[in-house]
Amino acid sequence: MTILITGGWGYGNLGDEAILKSTLMTIKSIYSNENIIISTYDPDNTKKIHKDYIDECEVIESLHKKCYLKSFNGILNFIKYLFFLFLIKIGFGKLIRDEYLLKYIKADQIIFAGGGYYNDLWKGAFPIRTLEFFIAIACKKMNSNLKVKIIGQTIGPFRYSISRVFVKRILKHLDLIMLRDETSVNIAKSLGAKDVRLSGDTALLVGKYNKHKLLSEQKYIAITLQNFRGYASESNYEEKSSRDMYEEKIKNIVKELLLLDKSLEIKIVPSTSFDYEFNYHIFKEINDDRCKFLDIYNTELDEFIYILQNSLLCISTNMHPLIISSQAFVPVIGISYWYKMDDFMKSINNLNFTYRIDEFTDYDIIRAAEQILKYGYSNQSTNIEIIKKLVDKTYHDFIYAIKS
């Protein structure tokens, strides 16, 4: 059996790399000798990050990289693969000799696995992702054994009518749709998808492959930040604040947290390369010996996971640090920029510690952190049971999805 996995990795986002690790390790726990092909934006970086368990996999450059629409060659490739899609549609797919496309045609499963990348907020990526879906579905005409599945993704928002037309056609032809948040399920159903399953984010499974490892006795709060952006609702994108206001609130939060307990450190832990500079800027502005900075360019994925798993509290404007921390039963506070984070926090009974990125106040976060550090969650034991059940459900759902 050949399983081709495509997703949001290779972009410098350690959260999405945690999805890929969990995806690979879980597939290997079922099919130890199957051929796995990984489609990634940056093959060299993916091989480096996952070097301990990826040797036997084939790693290829993704269609998104090949068809990057800001380059002339990318536009030419986009046109070429549109033409290949047309050939398959009219029954001339056997004429195709493109090595990359043949991997799609010959696969037994094509899995769009994890990430929140399929939306039309990212206008440059949406046409290419849509093309990849249409190619995967069209390949079923040439390979009757092929199944095309979505496992553990967010879809949307889709702000434009034409986007919804394309997505509706895609969803109709998929063999399995398993989404990671309730709003995505509702979007899929509103577009006519019949059998849509709700599961968890695959990164919830990292604890199965990264057992808790104490790196230091020092107690700390982990803070993961992203550049300011508006809030993405189901069908809209709103900005009710500004970058300057956001930055000032973040700096004040860090300073106040350092005052809460003189024995605590703050670890500023960027989870993406594209938010690295903002995190480093905050770190330099704080200028305190108890405020530490994690250089993700010189950090292994496992170390990133362990740091989150061993924190006293994680405060994040990115979703995956919250997921990785909470599966280790670390209390979390979310500053949400997207419904996917809201839905995750709801799934672990933690909406009362979730604040919109364009509406939160520094007082909100400081008060919540002080409450958690002093008293823990008011319903901590309930939360732990909910998380255990969610992790278990996510694992068994994934097994079902791969085997179906």
Which of 166, 198, 230 terminates a domain? The answer is: 198
Same domain, 101 and 120: yes
pLDDT tens by residue, 77-110: 999 999 999 999 999 999 999 999 999 999 999 9
Same domain, 39 and 150: yes
Note whether residue 42 is domain-resident.
Answer: yes
237-238 and 231-232 strand pairing: antiparallel
Cβ distance 211 to 397 under 8 Å? no
Note whether residue 399 is domain-resident.
Answer: no
Note whether residue 397 is domain-resident.
Answer: no
Same domain, 250 and 295: yes
Note whether residue 395 is domain-resident.
Answer: no
Same domain, 318 and 348: yes
Same domain, 253 and 191: no
Note whether residue 225 is domain-resident.
Answer: yes
pLDDT tens by residue, 186-226: 999 999 999 999 999 999 999 998 766 666 677 999 999 99
Q: What pLDDT, on the 0 to 100 scale, is given for residue 210?
A: 77
Note whether residue 401 is domain-resident.
Answer: no
Alpha-carbon span 275 to 224, nearest angstrom: 9
Which of 169, 198, 227 terminates a domain? The answer is: 198
**pTM check: above 0.75:** yes
Same domain, 86 and 139: yes
How many C-beta atoms surround the C-beta of residue 381 within 10 A?
9
Same domain, 124 and 218: no
Q: What pLDDT, on the 0 to 100 scale, is given for residue 227?
A: 92
Same domain, 148 and 99: yes
Same domain, 51 and 11: yes
Same domain, 63 and 191: yes
Q: What pLDDT, on the 0 to 100 scale, is given for residue 239?
A: 67
What is the mean pLDDT of the segment spanning 8-35?
93
Same domain, 292 and 224: yes
pLDDT tens by residue, 123-171: 889 999 999 999 999 999 999 999 999 999 999 999 999 999 999 999 9
Alpha-carbon span 21 to 304, nearest angstrom: 13
Note whether residue 71 is domain-resident.
Answer: yes
Alpha-carbon span 166 to 193, nearest angstrom: 13
Which of 176, 198, 220 terminates a domain? The answer is: 198
Cβ distance 222 to 202 under 8 Å? no
Alpha-carbon span 177 to 197, nearest angstrom: 6
Identify the CATH number of the domain in which residue 18 sits: 3.40.50
Number of domains forming the structure of the chain:
2
Note whether residue 398 is domain-resident.
Answer: no
Measured in degrees and rounded to the nearest 5, phi and psi for residue 11 equal -110, 5
Same domain, 9 and 157: yes
Identify the CATH number of the domain in which residue 218 sits: 3.40.50.2000
Alpha-carbon span 362 to 315, nearest angstrom: 12
Domain range for residue 151?
2-198
